[in-house]
Structure 1
Amino acid sequence: MRIGLLRHFKVNCPHKKMMTSKEFREWSECYEKSKVIKKHVDMYGIEWDICYVSDLPRAIVTAQEVYSGNLIIDKLLREVDNAPFIHSDRLRLPFEVWHVCGRLAWLFKSKSQPETVVGTRKRINAFLDQIDWSKENVLIVFHGFMLFNFQRELRKRGFSGEKIRMVKNGVLYQYIQEEHAH
């Protein structure tokens, strides 16, 4: 069995270099509504039997570009929210600091983050428990941080594939499982 993981196209949502926690939150809300920048995706000539996609527009638009069949839209595939790790109207930090520190806050179970590590893993496993394991080639179109966490759960289920450190937009990552373990 083959599972293809694809992060949505790059989102056209520029940001200021320095921002407050409020401006980071406003940027995040803008990002949710922004259009994507379409590009060619190498799908390696694989006939995908089924395509699951996050219910967020950037993922759906991407899935429609790379898959011609019916999409199975699932909110379990939504991105992990990245909230400001502290709230301050005065403190201005580089965008990257807000982004990275929000993810670190998630990892270290900070109350600043709406979803916990355990919650994210439960969501991933709930999704994996419900997919159609009779299909040979399963495509999943969703988000970078979810994809990063998804690979760990696939490995636990006997899949092998590239260990992804930086998830690129519009790049297909493949995981293979020789024997069905279900």
Structure 2
Amino acid sequence: MKIGLVRHFKVKQAYPFGRSLSACEVDQWFRDYDEADIEEGSTDLGGIEWDCCYASDLPRAIRTAEKIHVGPIYQMAELREIPAPTFETKFKLSFVWWALLIRMSWLINRQTRQDIRHAKARINKVLDQAIAQKEGNVLIVSHAALMKFLRKELLNRGFKGPGFGHAKNGMLYVFEMRKGRDL
């Protein structure tokens, strides 16, 4: 059995560089990003026959899945990205500083740590379902941060596959059960 991970295609939502933003404006940017269209691309599926596809239920992942997979696509809220934290401050910061705060929020924000725990539980549920099929290859279209946790859990379950820091848009990462391991 193979499990393929693909990050959605690039999103047509410009980063708001060059100006300071309030916390509310950053929240709105993320809401707009969640609904934005994608730049259509292509994905090399490695000549592998993918029997089914699980995709995040966010528009960018669904559209990507529809472009790269012919066959059933199961839209799953469990594959949504970990939500960006919200901040309650009157300060305005550049988007780069907001991005740094968001990246560091797992250290300083209790809600973010809880969101990460929930994301890991969601990932386990999806992988349990995918592996329960035992036959066939499963393609999963999701989001960058969630893919890091998906990769880690696949390795913990005996799969082998490539490493990646920040998953590239539209790139396929294939994981396969190690020889001698049972599902």
Normalising by structure 1, what TM-score?
Answer: 0.90
Counterpart-to-counterpart distance in 1, 2:100 and 2:154: 24
Structure 1 letter corresponding to 2:123: I
Q: What is aligned with 2:70? A: 68
Aligned to 2:110: 111
Cα separation, 2, equivalents of 1:171 and 1:100:
25
Cα deviation, residue 31, structure 1: 0.5
> CA–CA distance in 2 between the matches of 1:117 and 1:3?
22
How big is each residue's C-alpha offset from its partner over 1:11-48, in whole Å with a ceiling of 9 and x where there is no partner?
A: 10113223221111010011011100001211111111
Rounded to whole Å, the distance in 1 between the matches of 2:171 and 2:137 is: 17
Identity of aligned residues (%): 34
Q: Does the CA-based 8 Å contact 2:82-2:115 persist in structure 1?
A: no
Inter-partner Cα distance in structure 2 for 1:33 and 1:138:
26
CA distance in 2, matches of 1:171, 1:29: 24
Question: Partner residue of 1:92?
Answer: 92
Q: Counterparts of 1:121 and 1:33 in 2: how far apart (Å)?
A: 24
Q: Secondary structure at the match of 1:154?
A: helix
Structure 1 counterpart SS, 2:154: helix
Supply the distance in 1 between the matched residues of 2:173 and 2:94 (Cα, whole angstroms).
Answer: 30
Show the counterpart of 2:182: 181
Question: Which residue is 1:139 aligned to?
Answer: 139
Q: Is the 8 A contact 1:83 1:114 kept in 2?
A: no
**Deviation above 4 Å: which 4+ runs of structure 1?**
none
| Residues 124, 138 of structure 1: alpha-carbon distance in 2 compared, 3 angstrom cutoff | same
1:165 pairs with 2:165 = yes
Once the 2 structures are TM-superposed, how far is the Cα of residue 100 of structure 1 from its aligned partner?
Answer: 3.4
The residue aligned with 1:82 is 84
Gaps of 5+ in 1: none
Alignment check: 8 A CA contact 2:78 2:119 kept: no
Q: Would you tell me which structure has more helix in proportion to its own residues?
A: 2
Give the structure 1 partner of residue 125 of structure 2. Answer: 126
TM-score normalised by the chain length of structure 2: 0.89
1:102-130 C-alpha deviation (Å, 9 max, x unpaired): 2321x326135384322121111111112
Q: CA RMSD in A?
A: 1.8
Alignment size in residue pairs: 179
Aligned counterparts of 2:61 and 2:45: Cα–Cα separation in 1: 16
Matched residue, 1:101: 101
Residue-by-residue CA offset, 1:121-174 (whole Å, 9 max, x unaligned): 111111111224323311001111111111111110001111111111111111
| 54-63 or 117-126, larger mean C-alpha shift | 117-126
Opposite residue 89 of structure 2, the aligned amino acid is S
Alpha-carbon distance in structure 1 between the residues aligned to 2:53 and 2:134: 13
Q: Which amino acid aligns with 1:181?
A: D
